[in-house]
Amino acid sequence: FGSRVLLSVFVQCSSHAMKRFEVVFHVAVILLATPEVLVGASQETVTDVGNPIRKVVTLLQMMQAKLEADGQRDEELHGKFKCYCQTHGGILQASVSDGNSQAPVLQTQIDATEAKLRDTQNRVESQKSERADAQKSVQAAASIREREATSYQEQTRELGSNLRALHGAIKAIKSGTGTTFVQTYSAQVLKRAVMAADLLDADRQEVLSFVSGVQGEAGSSAEVLGILEQLQEEMEKDLKDAVATEKAAIETFKNMLQAKKSEIEVLTKDIEESASLVGELGVTLVQVKHALSTAQQNLSENEKFLLDLNKDCGSRETSYEERSKTRAEELAAIAETISMLANDDARDLFKKTLPNPSLVQVVKADSVLKRRLMELVGSLKDRAFRPYVDFMFMTIQGKKFGLEKVIDMIDHLVANLQKDKQNDASKKDWCTSEFDSTEDSIKDVTRNLGDATAVVEREQDSIEQLAAEHKKAEQELHDLEEMTLVATKQRETEHAQFSEETTDKKAALKLIEVAKNRLYKFYSPQVYLTAKEQVSEAQRSSVAAKIGKHEQEPPAAPPTGSHTKMTEQSSGVIALLSKVVADLAEELAESAKEEELGRTSYETLLSDSNAKKRSLAQEQMKRQAIKASKEELIVNKKADATSAKQLLAEHTASLQAAHTECDWLVQHFDARQELRDQDIESLNNAKAVLSGADYSFVQVRTALRR
């Protein structure tokens, strides 16, 4: 809160007052020393109104009362000014202390925000790199899967072709049409398959001879049939293994793809959140830096205003002490003079030497000197097929139904069991996927809910801080208004005093000029002025100079009288009056200069105060805009939190429903699959027996498959 000091020190304060006192005193001495002059003046031009010494004492007493009144008024104004210095000095000191404590806090907040911003930016880059790596992994896995699928298709196509050739050869041998078979394309396929198969050389040559159309013994056909059936069984096993391997590879790829997809989605979500946080931190950083800049600017202004206030208050205190000392000395001099002129001895002496009363016109001199100041301070077996099994038992034991129907029934049961296995596996996969996706959704919604809640809490804290700053700024505006009001009243008081003093001094000057002109009329007619001439002469302000240049000898006494004019003594009186005129004119000039300085300082103070008010008002507008933005963000985040809570409840209910539907299946899945495998194996064994195959061979094959 700046202040412009209304400072006007009159160094010659005491000297002016003492000069006026000396003038009055000397006039009194001259008049007392020349009673004849007073007598003559009384007889011709002066009205007798009392004892001249009494008039001098009265004048001195009036001067004494005036000085005492000025002292009381000066003391009252100084007391108000001291209160002003103490009050607003305290306010400024508190503002400076607040500014000094606020700046480090804001700087710490800036450093923390910048560090968090850098960490968040680095995290975004790291997350983008991880997402790119995950995407590359997906592309690489897809390429490998594509090559594996191509290889599988080629393998299964070749195995299928070979199996069809084997099936045709076996059928031809059994039906006795082997010669016809060797002429087909399948014979060439079979030949290539035998060449590539892992067989004994003797077995390979036996089969190749058959394929080439070379007919052997009957036992030879049986051996070829056995070799081909064994080769068929091995190829069927290879085909089954290839299908199982491909299925496992597809499942592995799907799981990996799902995992990578989830990872990429999580990383993308994290990147979006981090990017949003980067934006929020950037805005926060700009706001805090602006707050620091404003605080530093206010601190600098307050420190300057406080320094000016302390300096001005100190200067005013020194000036007041000097005025008080000078006033005390002047009062002491007047009191001593009154004592000298009014004691009993002096009164008796004057009675003897001044028997006749006379008029002594003494010009009242105003010795009041004023000092002024102003300041302003802002996240199982399945038993469902038991009736069919019982029916098959009855058929095997000799019932009338044919075996073909039983075999068809077995095939039907096996197909149903396989279908049930596949259905359970699909259902388990669905359950696992549903669990994972729902749990991931719950985590995402929980994280979003936490983020929204955190933003609401943070912005609410920020709004509270803005409210505190707003209140503080309002208090500063109030203090500025109050200080401006105090300064305005002070200026009005000082201006009124200046106007009063100027009027009094001008009246005194006019009275003294009238008195001097009256003396000129009698003692120096050549310099006597009429009323019009007095106005012209006052405008030129050169009376005193003329008096000093026109001292002449009085004219000769008229022949009819014996009285001689006291020209020399009258010149002394006129000179003293001229000195009083010069002193009053100088005081008027000094008062005008002091008034102009006070007016200029007051206008500067008002300008600084208005600038500070505009600055505070602009800051208030910015705070209101920021507050509105934050309140809008809070409303949006609360709406997001409400939506997140509803979505969380829905996902939780979905997860509970999925567990209700899937927990039993997942818990008993392996046992159910094992029981179905046992049922399928039993049915296949039964089918093999019914088909006339070697049961022990079937057991061996089953063991190999396992």
DSSP per residue over 459-483, as a string? HHHHHHHHHHHHHHHHHHHHHHHHH
Number of domains the chain contains: 1
C-alpha distance from residue 417 to each of 246, 383, 410, 428 (Å): 21, 11, 10, 16
Instruction: Tell whether 613 is covered by a domain.
Output: no
pLDDT, residue 352, reads 60
d(CA 347, CA 353): 10
Instruction: Tell whether 318 is covered by a domain.
Output: no
Q: Is the pLDDT of residue 33 over 80?
A: no
pLDDT, residue 691, reads 66
Q: Is the pLDDT of residue 333 over 60?
A: yes
d(CA 364, CA 335): 17
- On whether the CB atoms of residues 149 and 246 are closer than 8 A, the answer is yes
> Which residues does 672 contact at the CB level (< 8 Å), separation at least 6?
380, 381, 382, 424
Full domain range(s) for residue 272: 135-280+386-427+648-705
530 phi/psi in degrees, rounded to 5? -75, 180
**Number of neighbouring beta carbons within 10 Å of residue 585:** 15
- Higher local confidence (pLDDT), 567 or 355: 567
- Residue 106: closest CA among 303, 378, 294: 294
Lowest mean pLDDT among 22-36, 139-153, 257-271, 324-338: 22-36
Instruction: Tell whether 380 is covered by a domain.
Output: no
Instruction: Tell whether 156 is covered by a domain.
Output: yes
d(CA 458, CA 644): 19
- Residue 371: closest CA among 63, 583, 598: 598
Residue range 490-518, pLDDT digits in tens? 888 888 888 888 888 888 888 888 877 77
Query: What's the average model confidence in pLDDT over 287-293?
Result: 87
| 459 pLDDT tier (thresholds 50, 70, 90) | confident
Residue range 156-186, pLDDT digits in tens? 888 887 788 777 777 777 776 556 666 666 6
- Output DSSP code: residue 400: S
Instruction: Tell whether 397 is covered by a domain.
Output: yes
Instruction: Tell whether 168 is covered by a domain.
Output: yes
pLDDT, residue 403, reads 59
pTM above 0.85, yes or no: no
- On whether the CB atoms of residues 208 and 191 are closer than 8 A, the answer is yes
Residue range 237-262, pLDDT digits in tens? 888 888 899 889 889 988 988 898 88
Q: Is the pLDDT of residue 358 over 50?
A: no
Structure-block tokens of residue 24: 């009055």
- Higher local confidence (pLDDT), 672 or 704: 672
pLDDT, residue 585, reads 84
Instruction: Tell whether 680 is covered by a domain.
Output: yes
Instruction: Tell whether 125 is covered by a domain.
Output: no
Q: Is the pLDDT of residue 80 over 80?
A: yes
